[in-house]
Amino acid sequence: MAPEDLYSRKTPTEIPATRQRLLVFIVAYNAEKTIAPVIRRIPTSLLATYDVDVLIIDDASGDQTFEKSYEAGKQDLPFTVRTMFNPVNQGYGGNQRLGYHYAIQNGYDFVALVHGDGQYAPECLPDLLEPLRKGEAAAVFGSRMLTPKGALRGGMPLYKFVGNRILTWIENRLLNTHLSEFHSGYRIYSTRALVDIPFDRNSNGFHFDTEIIIQLVIAGHRIAELPIPTYYGDEISRVNGIAYAGQVVLAALKASLQRKGIFYDRKFDCAPPDTRWYVPKFNYRSPHSLALERIAKGAHVLDVGCAGGYMAAPLKNEKGCVVDGIDGFSADDVCLANFYLHDLNHGLPPLDYTRYDYVLMLDVIEHLTRPEAFLEEFRRALKMNPGVEIIMSTANIGFIILRLMLLAGQFNYGKRGILDMSHTRLFTFASFRRAISQAGFEILEVVGVPAPFPLALGDNPLSRFLIKANQALIWLFRGLFSYQIFVRVKPQPSLEYLLQTATEKSAQRAKELEAVAANSGLERQES
């Protein structure tokens, strides 16, 4: 049979080319008794608004689902029906991935997920499509929970109703959402929204539905819910309830931890660009607030890796400092006296480093490919300025969360946090001290910094309590509970400086000895 014979072609109603295209995607598995009625129940009224096609993917059924679908598609229907067959079962999630990929490749505007067992009423499609047509949402879910007790009246077993409620409550708490139901399979997506999310990385199982919700939420797409009737017939449930519950909660938990920079999973890496992690942190204990406390008024400061120049503002406005900045990306902060665009992995820009009282390197060292060599070069650049103070901070790879993750076999880099993908070198307290000392610096102060709870949880009483609790734990075991390492150092005199000062001092002492000898000789002659 030729590939084109696998689906029936109907001449669609003449419609303007500007109208939106809708793909009604029916997932089917062992649905030989219900698939044809489901196809016939698709409202023809949709054609008044949309260009409608139907795609059925039979997921390697063991019955006559494909044959019944193919025959139904050849009937007198007002829209094109295409039936496909997976020779190898892809699972509920895997089947959806194929259908959404098909919708994107073929230029549909919307794709509506309908189940071949008839559990979700196709008659609701016109109403469910309205928020998408009006541009009010990127996805619309049919919810069985919006109508009070409607799910129970529709035959949903009590244990499923209770489980649905409990799981939805947990998922809403973890994801900071307010959906009435996470577990409805009646959904319509904008293909533009699907393009924005990596749904192809999702599970083949039933928790695919939860993962795609998480991705839409992370990507910032609006989800609308509308009530639908509940229908439970004699279809066979193929979901292992206990395993499914664990899978959906785990997915939501991973996404929640990823938002806080603790965990990373590529399937949830679909958020718009977010620079919140690189904002000033002056209202709680952080490298920014510690550095601000330690810099004297009126000082001349060099901010290495100044980013947007956020340290310059309080230093200039509160302490009257003059601040210069170096960074590999442009910064237009008006508080910077001078800005030097330079990639620090290529060494130091040609500046007079001896004129600065303080040098800031906050969260810079971990981004360098050769931090030890950079520190040595910087020490040499300071030349005859051993009085300058360098303030540095870096992530602590020995933080307890990372140790526990490693114990569990997890070491995932992410978009922010200690395992930020842009970090090339990571340190513990011991290895950071060693790198600093071997580069020729004397350590003046070492401080453990707590995790940035206000950044992850918001500036509220809970986050401030966690900061204090973390600080108490740092006092007990700094290497285990510190999220970052903060140090103050000063350069030790270089060999060149020591040799030069020894030469100068020797010449001065020799001159003094010669003067003494000359005076002694004169005294002897006079006597």
Residue 263's SS3 state is coil
Of 109, 107, 93, 124, the residue nearest 27 (C-alpha): 93
Six-digit token string for 280: 């000033």
- Are 391 and 362 in contact by the 8 Å Cβ rule? The answer is yes
Rounded-to-integer distance, Cα 318 and Cα 36, Å: 75
Q: What is the pLDDT of residue 238?
A: 61
Shared-domain flag, residues 464 and 524: no
Six-digit token string for 462: 């809970």
Task: Give 16-32 pLDDT, tens digit per residue.
Answer: 447 899 999 999 999 99
Within-domain flag for 190: yes
Q: What is the pLDDT of residue 384?
A: 61
- Size of the chain in residues: 527
Task: Give 438-459 pLDDT, tens digit per residue.
Answer: 998 999 999 999 998 888 777 8
Shared-domain flag, residues 519 and 488: no
CATH number, residue 329: 3.40.50.150
Within-domain flag for 252: no
Shared-domain flag, residues 217 and 78: yes
Task: Give 291-346 pLDDT, tens digit per residue.
Answer: 999 999 999 999 998 887 788 889 999 999 999 999 888 766 678 999 999 999 99
Mean pLDDT, the chain, rounded, equals: 87
Shared-domain flag, residues 434 and 348: yes
- Residue 182 pLDDT exceeds 90: yes
pTM of the model: 0.71
Within-domain flag for 452: yes
Shared-domain flag, residues 284 and 139: no
Six-digit token string for 428: 């513990």
Shared-domain flag, residues 230 and 336: no
Six-digit token string for 212: 């795609």
Q: Count of domains in the chain? A: 3
Domain residue limits at 82: 3-157+180-240
Within-domain flag for 175: no
Shared-domain flag, residues 453 and 522: no
**Which of 220, 240, 260 is where one domain is finished?**
240
- Are 445 and 269 in contact by the 8 Å Cβ rule? The answer is no
Shared-domain flag, residues 401 and 466: yes
Shared-domain flag, residues 426 and 375: yes
Shared-domain flag, residues 446 and 519: no
Shared-domain flag, residues 58 and 201: yes
Q: What is the pLDDT of residue 234?
A: 59
Shared-domain flag, residues 422 and 479: yes
Within-domain flag for 246: no
Within-domain flag for 250: no
Within-domain flag for 444: yes
Least confident of 161-170, 182-191, 372-381, 496-505: 496-505
Within-domain flag for 513: yes
Six-digit token string for 180: 């009435």
